[in-house]
Amino acid sequence: MFKLAILVCCLSATVQSLCESPKWASSSFSTTDGFFHFQTTYIVEFSLQCANNIRDASFFAVVNGKVLQAAVSEETSKYQVSWQHEHPESGSQNFDVKIFDEEQLAAYKKAERSGEDVSTVKPLFTTTHSHAGVTKNSPIASETVITVILLAAVYFAVNAKSQLKP
């Protein structure tokens, strides 16, 4: 009887970690300034509501075949996934961010290990992040540089003229 009770507890804990009928919303951001940053950072934030109201579940993202764990904010109850690339790899592109719960991630990894098609494993949802690309422009506009040079030239001209007067 004791073994049966333990088995039931384990099964209920496993079932509780599955997200049923997910409702989600997401937003994303990425750095586009290559002048001040060493790498391009991508951030996808999402809120997730499961029909079975699971608590303390872990969620994961797969981005370009790389598995990332989603962090949860205690303040907002939103999940966040972030990753980085070097600037040369950060041209204008779209990233499909596939969100999995623990059971789906296990199925994804199993398919990956056995050489099966991982696209057969259905994620909870997929969101797309559109990255505009990276610019390495100087934060100082060329008009500002020209203005400073002209002001310096006028200053030196006025200063030189005042020294020529007897």
Q: Is the pLDDT of residue 93 over 80?
A: yes
Q: What is the 3-state secondary structure (H, E, C) of 48-93?
A: EECCCCCCCCCEEEEECCEEEECEECCCCCCEEEEEEEEHHHCCCE
What pLDDT digit, counting tens, does each position of 43-77 carry?
Answer: 999 999 888 888 888 999 999 999 999 999 888 88
What pLDDT digit, counting tens, does each position of 107-153 carry?
Answer: 999 999 999 999 999 999 999 999 988 887 777 788 888 999 999 99
- In this prediction, residue 70 carries a pLDDT of 96
Residue 99 CB neighbours (<10 A) = 25
Q: Are 19 and 102 in contact (CB under 8 A)?
A: no
Q: Is the pLDDT of residue 85 over 50?
A: yes
Is the pTM here over 0.75, yes or no?
Answer: no
Q: Which residues pair with 99 in a beta bridge?
A: 61, 125
Q: Sorting pLDDT into bands at 50, 70 and 90, what band is 17?
A: low
User: Per CATH, the architecture of 2-141 is what?
Assistant: Sandwich (2.60)
Domain definitions of the chain by residue range: 2-141
Q: Where are the alpha helices (DSSP H) in the chain?
A: 2-16, 102-113, 142-164
**Separation of CA 97 from chain center:** 9
Q: Is the pLDDT of residue 11 over 70?
A: no
Residue 78 CB neighbours (<10 A) = 16
- In this prediction, residue 150 carries a pLDDT of 94
